[in-house]
Amino acid sequence: MKTDVNSLSHFMRRWLEKANDVVDSTDSAFVDRFVFTYISFNALYTAAANILDGSSSDIVKWDFRKGGPPKRQFKKYQTEQRRATTLVVDVIGKHRSVEHLVICKDAIENLCNCFGPGRLYLHELESGEPDIARDDALIASARSGNIESLLGIVYLLRCNLFHGAKALSAVQDVPLMAATAILQTLIPPFLAGIERRLQA
């Protein structure tokens, strides 16, 4: 039986349209675009995790306007970070992911350049000081073409923005604009990958 993904697609596209409709004159437009885009991305990796965990036949019952798929325990992608990174690359494919991100070369470089001593940071030590070593390792991996590491940066940006009680400031514009470009490039092939899994 053909599985209906219209609800997922509708939800995703609705939030992408909201992201694209944000005007530059809006206060902190770069934040709005990132948040709206990430909502779409979040819906996709949640759906993909359910599908790859053997629940694809239930997708016909999902209504993303009423909360989407049920909460569940995942075996391979146990943490949300793994669902937002490793799972995405598994669904799209490493080679395809790299191919799609060729057009984001500048965005990737801009994102990686935002972190380091005297700049933004992603990880903290127990003392509250930046964990420069962990940041440097993640950035170096992303620069080398590791898409999971690149998405790891995007995910940590999301965590810092959503959970870190960070004040909005212009210093966030470059990383959030770059992350938005990266996500909007990967979302279409990610959705296509989910559809391929459902048709298999």
Long-range contacts of 134-139 (CB under 8 A, 24+ apart): 139/112, 139/115
Two tokens, residue 36 = 């709206």
Residue 63 lies in a domain: yes
Q: Give, for 49, the enclosing helix (H) or strand (E).
A: helix 29-50
Residue 58 lies in a domain: yes
At residue 28, the pLDDT reads 83
Return the pLDDT at 92: 96
Q: What pLDDT is stored for residue 98 in this prediction? A: 95
Read off the tokens for 42: 């979040």
Three-class SS of 132-188: HHHHHHHHHHHHCCCHHHHHHHHHHHHHHHHHCCCCCCHHHHHHHHHHHHHHHHHHH
- Report how far residue 172's alpha carbon sits from residue 70's, in angstroms, rounded to the nearest whole number: 33
Residue 102, in any domain of the structure: yes
The CA distances from residue 32 to 63, 106, 138, 142, 173, in Å, are 24, 21, 26, 25, 11
CB neighbours of residue 133 within 10 Å? 10
88 contacts 151 by C-beta, under 8 angstroms: yes
The pLDDT of residue 77: 85
Range of the domain at 79: 6-199
In a domain, 1, yes or no: no
Find tokens 């990880």 and name the residue.
123
Q: How many domains does the chain have?
A: 1
Phi/psi at 146 (nearest 5 deg)? Answer: -80, 110
**pLDDT by residue, tens only, the chain of 200 residues:** 344 578 888 889 999 999 999 998 777 889 999 999 999 999 999 888 887 765 544 554 555 555 555 556 667 888 899 999 999 999 999 999 999 999 999 999 999 999 988 888 899 899 989 999 999 999 999 999 999 999 999 999 999 886 654 555 667 889 999 999 999 999 999 999 988 887 76
